[in-house]
A and B are shown apart, each in its own frame.
Chain A
Amino acid sequence: MKILILIGNVPDTTTKVKFNADRTAFDASGVQWIINPWDELALTRAMELKETSGGAVEAVVVANVGRAETEATLRKALAIGADKAIRIDADPKEAGYVASQLATIAAGYDLIMAGIEAADYNGNAVGGMLAEMLGMNSVSAVSGIQIENGQLKINREIDGGSQVVGLPMPLVAIVQKGIAKEPRIPAMRGIMMARSKPLEVVQPIDAAPMTNMVTFEMPPAKAACKMIAEDQAKDLIHLLRDEAKVL
């Protein structure tokens, strides 16, 4: 069984979001880049599966669409334990474009794992698009994956509860929180071994982006918080009814 993990390179989640002067692009100055948190959890789970599968998982490969500066993120994935990394040398313009690029390298895997969204543009789309492009099955909001007798047993969240489901491979699993407890911290041994693991750079294909982001805005500033004394807490409920009119 071969597993592919789609990796996004996103600003650290504590980043204070800023845009350029005419608000047409994200201001990346001083930003620390990280593996998209959901993708990192997916990779962690893939490593756990590989380690506990008794050889059933032969390889875990990571792939992203990005320029050379995103290689640090891929090498971290290699340090965490991935066997190989693939970088498609293009700007990740939008979900459809990214999925089209990934489709060129993603065939032949039994399981592809993608994070449910990216922490930057929250597209929620690459995994599902890739599945459709490759004619693979997909399942989303996945919070658990086990391998039982060579089959995948999947926990997914549905609106109104959760389910245990089975789907045949090849499969794209779009994962969310819970898929792994916490992202794995790379060990010295892994960091050392990452030096000699393959990182393949692939040229992009032509694909026309169908969407683009033209400008950005910040949420409107909040008015000052109205403070109520602890022993007058009941008044707050009355304000919610009479002033805010939300009760």
Chain B
Amino acid sequence: MNFEFTEEQLMIQQAARDYAQRELIKDVIERDYKAEYPAHHVKALAELGFMGMLVSPEYDGGGMDTVSYVLAMEELSKVDSSLGVIVSVNNSLVCYGLEKFGSPSQKEKYLRPLARGEKIGAFLLSEPEAGSDATSQKTTAEDKGDYYLVNGTKNWITNAHSGSTYLVIAQTHPQKKHHGINALIVDKNTPGISLGPHEDKMGMRSSDTHSVMFTDVKVPKENRIGEDGFGFKFAMQTLEAGRIGIASQALGIASGAMERSIAYARERKTFGKFLYEHQSVAFTLAEMAVKIENARNLCIKAAWLKDQGKPYGVASAMAKQYAADIAMQVTTDAVQIHGGYGYVKEYHVERLMREAKLTQIYEGTSEIQKIVISRDLFR
């Protein structure tokens, strides 16, 4: 056993921290208010290598391990979890899925620009009638010989507008149920694709979320990932990796709220004493610290298992469910510690609280994670 991070992991953590505390902090409140996509930050983070940090250098990625990725995601999300989800979807869903399951020519064509951050990816699974339930896909990919004809609607798609490389999950053989599902690489510019309006979200407002409509969209056969019918397995395995990203994002939201609460408790006096000198506040902070430590350990454990090539699906479900739930608790407490200041935008914690809520919902709700975890108990 060894709980020490390597020097390299710490360097990546520091790089993410420096960028977040120096740059993201400058306009995070304004971008949240205006629901503005952080294009200049995405470009800067791409230059630093964060957009494809997990991809092998062979495909222009950063070649870093998943533990480093957890540390980086936490630091970015402490300040700006909208940016966090953009990084997460690109890295741990799209790049991961392509690198692990894509063909050499698919990687050459699609993975390289994504790993360099020149292009951004989106993962199109959710549908109006099925959010986290991947088995029932209403979007169809009809086999037309040398191409698929895609029809249907995808919902809640992060990076739908900013992204240009879509990974689309669609049903080809309805009679085979989830064994008939395929995963297709689709260029957003393909005729027949249209976007719904920008979703006006409660939190993570500067990441762009849209519905995506497919009307007779032709996708070449060579863009199918894996064998015919591999789509469901692809989605499930990719989501396992994606959960580590979102868990780390939730962790960052929580630890960002705690850092702000500690700083505030150190500065602010009530009844002649600093806030931290009041036991009720000190104990709340202590409880936050324990929750965050637990969440971090779960995230790191899942990342470590993944890096070791061991099964990590249950570990990542635990990390995501726990980190998301404590992020909600911790941010709510952080607002309470800040009192009236906590309720205004200038002090950041109200935003973190709004952002925390989404981590309990997307890429598998907390309930879905509990299904994954409990199924494992009764295997």
A–B contact (CB under 8 angstroms):
yes
Bound complex: CA of A185 vs CA of B50, how far in Å? 12
Do A185 and B10 touch across chains, with their CB atoms under 8 A apart? Answer: no
Number of interface residues of B (CB under 8 A): 20
Bound complex: CA of A182 vs CA of B26, how far in Å? 15
Do A76 and B11 touch across chains, with their CB atoms under 8 A apart? Answer: yes
| Distance between A38 CB and nearest chain B CB, rounded to angstroms | 17
| B292 at interface by CB-CB < 8 Å | no
Nearest residue (CB) in A for B12 is A191
Residues in chain A near residue B49, CB distance under 8 A: 187-189
Residues A182 and B12 in contact in the complex (CB < 8 Å), given A187-B47, A187-B48: no
Of B18, B48, B63, the residue contacting A192 (CB under 8 A) is: B63
| A72 at interface by CB-CB < 8 Å | yes
Give the residue among A185, A186, A189, A192 with the most B Cβ atoms within 10 A.
Answer: A185
Residues in chain B near residue A72, CB distance under 8 A: 7, 10-11
Do A192 and B11 touch across chains, with their CB atoms under 8 A apart? Answer: no
Do A192 and B62 touch across chains, with their CB atoms under 8 A apart? Answer: yes
Do A79 and B18 touch across chains, with their CB atoms under 8 A apart? Answer: no
| A50 at interface by CB-CB < 8 Å | no
Do B11 and A186 touch across chains, with their CB atoms under 8 A apart? Answer: yes
| A84 at interface by CB-CB < 8 Å | no
Of B11, B22, B47, B57, the residue contacting A79 (CB under 8 A) is: B11
Within 8 A of B (CB), among A16-74: 72
Do B18 and A185 touch across chains, with their CB atoms under 8 A apart? Answer: yes
Q: Interface 1/0s, chain A 158-195, versus B by CB < 8 A?
A: 00000000000000000000000010011111011001
Q: Interface 1/0s, chain B 1-26, versus A by CB < 8 A?
A: 00000011011101100110010000
Bound complex: CA of A192 vs CA of B14, how far in Å? 15
| A75 at interface by CB-CB < 8 Å | yes
Residues in chain B near residue A191, CB distance under 8 A: 8, 11-12, 15, 62, 64
| B53 at interface by CB-CB < 8 Å | yes
Within 8 A of A (CB), among B25-84: 47-50, 53, 57, 61-64
Of A75, A76, A182, A188, the residue contacting B64 (CB under 8 A) is: A188
Within 8 A of B (CB), among A62-111: 72, 75-76, 79
Bound complex: CA of A185 vs CA of B8, how far in Å? 14
Of B11, B12, B14, B62, the residue contacting A189 (CB under 8 A) is: B62
Nearest residue (CB) in B for A79 is B11
Of B7, B10, B19, B53, the residue contacting A188 (CB under 8 A) is: B53
Residues in chain B near residue A182, CB distance under 8 A: 22
Do A188 and B22 touch across chains, with their CB atoms under 8 A apart? Answer: no
| Distance between A186 CB and nearest chain B CB, rounded to angstroms | 6
| Distance between A224 CB and nearest chain B CB, rounded to angstroms | 11
Number of interface residues of A (CB under 8 A): 13
| Distance between A194 CB and nearest chain B CB, rounded to angstroms | 8
Bound complex: CA of A191 vs CA of B12, how far in Å? 8
| Distance between A12 CB and nearest chain B CB, rounded to angstroms | 10
Nearest residue (CB) in A for B16 is A185
Bound complex: CA of A202 vs CA of B62, how far in Å? 32
Bound complex: CA of A83 vs CA of B242, how far in Å? 36
Residues in chain B near residue A76, CB distance under 8 A: 11, 14
Residues in chain B near residue A75, CB distance under 8 A: 7, 11
Of B19, B53, B62, the residue contacting A185 (CB under 8 A) is: B19
Residues in chain A near residue B7, CB distance under 8 A: 72, 75
| Distance between B353 CB and nearest chain A CB, rounded to angstroms | 26
Bound complex: CA of A79 vs CA of B11, how far in Å? 9
Bound complex: CA of A72 vs CA of B50, how far in Å? 21
Bound complex: CA of A191 vs CA of B72, how far in Å? 14
| Distance between A19 CB and nearest chain B CB, rounded to angstroms | 21
Bound complex: CA of A80 vs CA of B7, how far in Å? 14
| Distance between A40 CB and nearest chain B CB, rounded to angstroms | 11
Bound complex: CA of A139 vs CA of B203, how far in Å? 52
| Distance between A183 CB and nearest chain B CB, rounded to angstroms | 8
| Distance between B213 CB and nearest chain A CB, rounded to angstroms | 36
Nearest residue (CB) in A for B44 is A185
Bound complex: CA of A192 vs CA of B61, how far in Å? 11
Residues in chain A near residue B18, CB distance under 8 A: 185
Residues A185 and B57 in contact in the complex (CB < 8 Å), given A192-B62, A192-B63: no
| Distance between B231 CB and nearest chain A CB, rounded to angstroms | 31
| Distance between B58 CB and nearest chain A CB, rounded to angstroms | 12
Nearest residue (CB) in B for A183 is B18
Residues in chain A near residue B22, CB distance under 8 A: 182
Nearest residue (CB) in B for A195 is B8
Nearest residue (CB) in B for A75 is B7
Residues A185 and B15 in contact in the complex (CB < 8 Å), given A192-B57, A192-B62, A192-B63: yes
Bound complex: CA of A70 vs CA of B39, how far in Å? 37
| Distance between A85 CB and nearest chain B CB, rounded to angstroms | 13
Bound complex: CA of A189 vs CA of B57, how far in Å? 9
| Distance between B56 CB and nearest chain A CB, rounded to angstroms | 11
Do A186 and B57 touch across chains, with their CB atoms under 8 A apart? Answer: no
The 9 closest A-B pairs by CB, nearest first: A188-B49, A188-B62, A187-B48, A187-B49, A185-B15, A185-B18, A72-B7, A188-B53, A186-B15
Chain B residues near A (Cβ < 8 Å): 7-8, 10-12, 14-15, 18-19, 22, 47-50, 53, 57, 61-64
Q: Can you name 6 extra interface pairs (CB under 8 A) apart from A72-B11, A192-B57?
A: A185-B48, A186-B48, A187-B15, A188-B53, A188-B61, A195-B8
For this complex, 15 residue pairs linking A to B, each with C-beta atoms less than 8 Å apart, are A72-B10, A75-B7, A76-B11, A182-B22, A185-B19, A186-B11, A186-B48, A187-B48, A187-B49, A188-B48, A188-B53, A188-B63, A189-B49, A189-B62, A192-B63
